[in-house]
Homo-oligomer: A and B are copies of this chain.
Amino acid sequence: MSIQTTKAERDAVEGGSRRLILDTAARLLRQGGYHQTTLREIAEAVGIRKASLYYHFASKEEIVEAVVNDGVRFVQEAVVAALQASEGAEPRVRLESAIHAHLTALHGHGDYTSASIKAFAFGAMPVPDSVRRVRRAYEDVWRLLIAELQAADVIAIERSPEALRLFLLGALNGSTDWYRPGRFDIPALAREFAALIAPRAGRAMSD
């Protein structure tokens, strides 16, 4: 005898059960990774029975896949947007804003993106093709930016661009292990990181 509503109405108000499930799964995946996170946990947190998840998704892996892809795509969109917004600016500024966008998306968006990193490490053997594709697309964004930085000699041309990319993305994604909202300030962190690999002093001045 509650104020019951139709599916369409509830979807409009609360975003749909599917979204709610994914939001919840993202939160739990972020905390516990793939194997630690169980369907029972997800179902309980959502407020339905575990079997009901199978109405919305075919399997656990489908849920995880959806969360992970959403997460990576969100980060990519944020970084691409930041790069577009800073088009034409100094390469160093563009680097900093890309790092800033990555960190913001990583720690700001509701758990999806952190979850995607935690859940990557799963030895749950086959990383799905869709995940691999989405990831690679994001990597390409950074390959482009790094090429730009080297063309502008902000990063020495003799440095390996792949080593830099792996180094940088590793460092950024590693922040999920230590970043806590109060302890650090993302803009400051982005400034620090950008300055570390592309300091203002040195080559640009002496050359």
Contacts of A201 in B (CB 8 A): 156, 199, 201-203, 206
A177, B33: Cα distance in complex, Å? 15
Q: In the complex, A206→B175 CA distance in Å?
A: 33
* This protein's copies in its complex: 2
| A151 on the B face (CB < 8 A) | no
What are the residues of chain B within 8 A of A137 when measuring CB–CB?
A: none
Residue-by-residue, is A152-170 near B (CB-CB < 8 Å gives 1, otherwise 0)? 0001100110011011111
Interface size class of A (residues with CB under 8 A): 35 or more
In the complex the two chains form, what is the Cα distance from A121 to B124 in whole Å? 13
Which positions in A face B, CB cutoff 8 Å? Answer: 31-36, 118, 120-124, 155-156, 159-160, 163-164, 166-175, 177-178, 188-189, 192-193, 195-197, 199, 201-203, 206
